[in-house]
Amino acid sequence: MEHLRSVGIFVRTVELRSFAAAAAVLSLTPSAVSKAVAVLERSLDVRLLVRGARGVTLTDEGQRFYVRCRRVVTELEAAEREATGARAAPRGRLRVALHSGLARGRILAHMPRFLHEHPQLQVEILLATGSRSLEAEGIDVGVFIGDPEDSTLIARRIAELTMLTCASPSYLETHGVPRMPEELASHNCMVYFRPNGRLYDEWAFLRGDDLRVVSVRGNCCSNEAHVLTEAAIAGTGVVRIFDVMNAAAVASGVLVPLLSDWSQPGPPVHVMYPRGARSSPKVRLFADFVTALFEDVRQDQRATPRRNDSQRWPMHRA
Cα separation, 208 vs 111, in Å, equals 39
Helical packing angle, 281-293 and 295-303, nearest 10°: 50
pLDDT at residue 317 tops 50: no
Instruction: Please tell me the distance from the alpha carbon of residue 200 to that of residue 197, in angstroms, as a whole number.
Output: 9
Query: Given this model, what pLDDT does residue 81 score?
Result: 64
Answer yes or no: is pLDDT of 243 > 90. no
Task: State residue 128's pLDDT score.
Answer: 75
At 186-226, the pLDDT tens digits run 999 999 887 667 888 999 999 989 999 999 999 999 988 88
Q: What is the pLDDT of residue 240?
A: 93
Residue that wins the pLDDT comparison between 113 and 21: 113
Cα Rg of the chain, angstroms: 23
Question: What sign for the dihedral angle of Cα 274, 110, 229, 240?
Answer: positive
The average pLDDT across 82-108 equals: 79
Cα gap 177→20, rounded to integer Å:
60
pLDDT grade for 318, boundaries at 50, 70 and 90: very low
pLDDT at 67 over 90: no
- Return the pLDDT at 112: 95
297 vs 111 pLDDT, higher one:
111
Looking at the chain, the whole-number percentage of residues with pLDDT higher than 90 is 36
Q: Where does the pLDDT of residue 256 fall: very low under 50, low under 70, confident under 90, or very high at 90 and above?
A: very high
Confidence of residue 242 (pLDDT cuts 50, 70, 90): confident
Please check the confidence at residue 1 and state whether its pLDDT lies above 70. no
| pLDDT of 114 above 50 | yes
Structural domains in the chain, sorted by start: 4-84 (1.10.10.10), 89-159+267-303 (3.40.190.10), 161-266 (3.40.190.290)
Find the range with the poorest average confidence among 199-203, 238-242, 256-260, 300-304. Answer: 300-304
pLDDT per residue as tens digits for the range 121-155: 999 999 875 656 677 778 899 998 887 776 677 88
Say which residue, 2 or 259, is predicted with more confidence: 259
Q: Does residue 55 register a pLDDT over 80?
A: no
What's the CA gap between 212 and 221, in Å, rounded?
A: 22
Across the range 6-15, mean pLDDT stands at 87
DSSP string, 37-85: HHHHHHHHTS--EEEETTEEEE-HHHHHHHHHHHHHHHHHHHHHHHHHT
Q: Kindly report the length of the chain.
A: 318
- Mean pLDDT, residues 69-92 taken together: 72
- pLDDT band of residue 19 (cuts 50, 70, 90) is confident
The whole-chain average pLDDT of the chain stands at: 84
